[in-house]
């Protein structure tokens, strides 16, 4: 029988990539965010999962021996409270993963999108990630003595190939990629690195609505022709959170099996 993720983390030695690191992950209740939490725990980190899905978030945190904090990325007050509570629970903060996002625009052409939908997606995906990063800055600056703070923005390869009928989401992820570069330049003097990852179409709850022809397009167009799993993205996240990436900042890493080669 294989050991549980928290058991693997608890037995981790000083060789673990994130040993002693304190990590906050938005959108951590399920899907990619939960997988990132599991990978971080396995590499020795203390983890807070933050999400608007309270029941699922608490269940995931319990399963990983992590902490859960409620978070509504559309609410600035909730963001501030989430970061403050997370820092208090962890005793500081070494890394932030901006994974929380909504799609809401899938399957509609640009002339079918409603203004409210556009604004919702931009509010959560773009403004929410900015406000999470801003709220975390004091704690991340304080982490300089421990090797420097890390921000990892979860973008999407849809912004790299111009996925159709998904424009609000694509635009929001393109904005996040651009924000990553600007943030990296602004925060480098504080010893904080900022990088982005662009996953391809990954088999998680949030992509269950996607038509089969889009799944087929990805699978047939990849250099590695198989379905993408959440675990495929975890190594890149762990790398960007670790000291191994201490001199890497402002970079975008597509993780999509070679569908988009950047």
Inter-residue long-range contacts of 180-188, CB under 8 Å, 24+ positions, other chains counted = 180/153, 180/155, 180/250, 180/252, 181/250, 183/133, 183/151, 184/249, 184/250, 185/250, 187/137, 187/140, 187/149, 187/151, 188/249
User: Which residue among 36, 68, 118, 169 is the active-site one?
Assistant: 169
Dump the DSSP string for 54-94: HHHHHHHHHHHT-EEEE--TT-HHHHHHHHHHHHHHHTS-S
| Cα–Cα distance for residue pair 15/244, rounded to 1 Å | 12
| Cα–Cα distance for residue pair 71/190, rounded to 1 Å | 26
Q: Map residue 10 onto helix, strand or coil.
A: helix
**209 annotated active-site:** no
Backbone angles phi, psi at 228, to 5 degrees: -90, 130
- Region for residue 65 given its phi and psi (left: phi exceeds 0; alpha: psi -120 to 50; beta: otherwise): left
Q: The tokens of 45 are what?
A: 């980190």
Closest CA to 196 of 165, 151, 160, 162: 151
Quick check: 124 and 74 in contact, CB under 8 A? yes
Where in 104-226 does DSSP place strands (E)? 150-154, 193-199
Catalytic residues: 169
């Amino acid at each position: 029988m294989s050991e549980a993720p928290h058991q693997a983390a608890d037995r981790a030695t000083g060789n673990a990539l994130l040993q002693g690191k304190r990590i906050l992950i938005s959108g951590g209740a399920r899907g990619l965010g939960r997988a990132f939490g599991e990978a971080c725990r396995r590499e020795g980190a203390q983890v807070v999962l933050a999400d608007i899905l309270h029941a699922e978030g608490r269940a995931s945190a319990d399963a990983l021996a992590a902490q859960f904090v409620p978070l509504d990325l559309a609410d600035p007050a909730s963001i501030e409270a989430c970061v403050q509570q997370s820092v208090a629970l962890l005793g500081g903060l070494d890394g932030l993963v901006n994974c929380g996002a909504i799609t809401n625009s899938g399957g509609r052409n640009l002339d079918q999108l409603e203004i409210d939908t556009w604004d919702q997606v931009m509010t959560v995906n773009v403004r929410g990630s900015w406000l999470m990063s801003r709220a975390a800055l004091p704690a991340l600056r304080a982490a300089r003595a421990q090797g420097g703070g890390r921000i990892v923005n979860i973008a999407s390869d849809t912004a790299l190939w111009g996925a159709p009928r998904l424009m609000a989401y694509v635009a929001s992820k393109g904005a996040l990629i651009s924000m990553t570069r600007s943030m990296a330049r602004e925060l480098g003097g504080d010893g904080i690195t900022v990088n982005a990852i662009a996953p391809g179409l990954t088999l998680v709850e949030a992509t269950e609505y996607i038509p089969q022809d889009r799944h087929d397009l990805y699978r047939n167009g990849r250099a590695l022709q198989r379905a993408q799993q959440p675990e495929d993205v975890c190594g890149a996240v762990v790398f960007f959170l670790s000291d191994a990436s201490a001199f890497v900042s402002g970079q975008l890493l597509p993780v999509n099996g070679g569908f988009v080669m950047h």
